[in-house]
């Protein structure tokens, strides 16, 4: 008589229908160039999947063409000074149905000038790009982080967040505010298992310094910032680096 073998396989269904062995997920705004790009490269090297955005689709296409493992990278063209674009970006992330392990608010720009003489509207435009984009993106992602009781938020501040410069103008105002935003978030979220870190780099060799007549060795490498960010993330959940202050060896420019 033939024997009938019945094999029962017990599967533990993951929460939120998340597949087994899924990579961790980094969301970073403004990731197509400079420090943002190096952060993406560092986290992909460590096995992360990455979602990023930029104002220009051609910059994102170049990023995907240059990254060694573009399959780990999802992009969306979005100008985060536009509230509707932020909503689209949050929806893009939400539809992945995956937990966000790391959020890095990196989008922003720098226009040198003095408060008394800079062009009308400079403050408003930098508030939108440097501060409100971080505020709204964070608010869009936080409910899921709170539900999961884990996550790490990095805000790309600046040395200008803690020291006024003559030519800092509205940029310094927005970066001071972003540091304050980071401090408030830290207090709100520390009991929920969510870490918050403010990054305050000095002069780093990126497009913001193009045309400046100074040798390269007066600037930090963007890779150094990326390494510091990952090292801060890699600590155990019992510790948090609240602020990263990193300057060129020869001092500020």
Phi, psi of 237 (to 5 degrees): -70, -10
Longest dimension (CA), the chain: 96
Count of domains for the chain: 1
pLDDT, mean of residues 150-154: 98
> pLDDT per residue over 204-244, tens digit each?
888 767 667 788 888 999 999 999 999 999 999 999 999 99
**Residue 251 belongs to some domain of the structure:** no
pLDDT for the residue numbered 19: 44
Q: For residue 237, is it within any domain?
A: yes
Domain CATH for 182:
3.40.50.720
CB crowding 47-77: b at 16 or more within 10 Å, else e: ebbbbbbbbeeebbeebeeebeeeebbbbbb
Q: Does some domain include residue 157? A: yes
Which residue range is the domain that position 32 belongs to? 20-246
pLDDT in tens, 21-64: 589 999 999 999 999 999 999 999 999 999 999 999 999 999 99
In a domain, 93, yes or no: yes
Rg (CA), the chain: 20
């Amino acid at each position: 008589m033939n024997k009938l073998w019945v094999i029962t396989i017990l599967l533990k269904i993951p929460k939120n229908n998340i597949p087994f062995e899924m990579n961790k997920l980094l969301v970073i705004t403004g990731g197509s160039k400079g420090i943002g790009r190096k952060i993406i490269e560092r986290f992909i090297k460590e096995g992360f999947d990455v979602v990023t955005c930029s104002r220009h689709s051609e910059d994102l296409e170049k990023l995907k063409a240059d990254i060694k493992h573009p399959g780990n990278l999802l992009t969306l063209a979005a100008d985060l000074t536009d509230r509707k674009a932020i909503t689209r970006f949050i929806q893009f992330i939400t539809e992945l149905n995956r937990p966000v392990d790391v959020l890095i608010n990196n989008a922003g720009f720098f226009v040198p000038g003095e408060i008394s003489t800079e062009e009308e509207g400079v403050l408003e435009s930098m508030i939108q790009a440097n501060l409100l984009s971080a505020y709204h993106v964070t608010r869009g992602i936080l409910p899921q982080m709170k539900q999961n009781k884990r996550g790490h938020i990095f805000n790309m501040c600046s040395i200008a967040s803690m020291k006024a410069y003559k030519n800092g103008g509205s940029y310094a105002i927005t970066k001071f505010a972003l540091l304050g935003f980071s401090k408030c978030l830290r207090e709100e979220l520390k009991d929920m298992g969510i870490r918050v870190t403010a990054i305050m780099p000095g002069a780093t060799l990126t497009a913001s310094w193009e045309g400046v007549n100074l040798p390269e060795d007066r600037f930090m490498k963007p890779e150094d910032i990326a390494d510091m960010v990952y090292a801060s993330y890699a600590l155990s959940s019992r510790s948090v680096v609240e602020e990263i202050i990193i300057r060129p060896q020869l001092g500020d420019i």
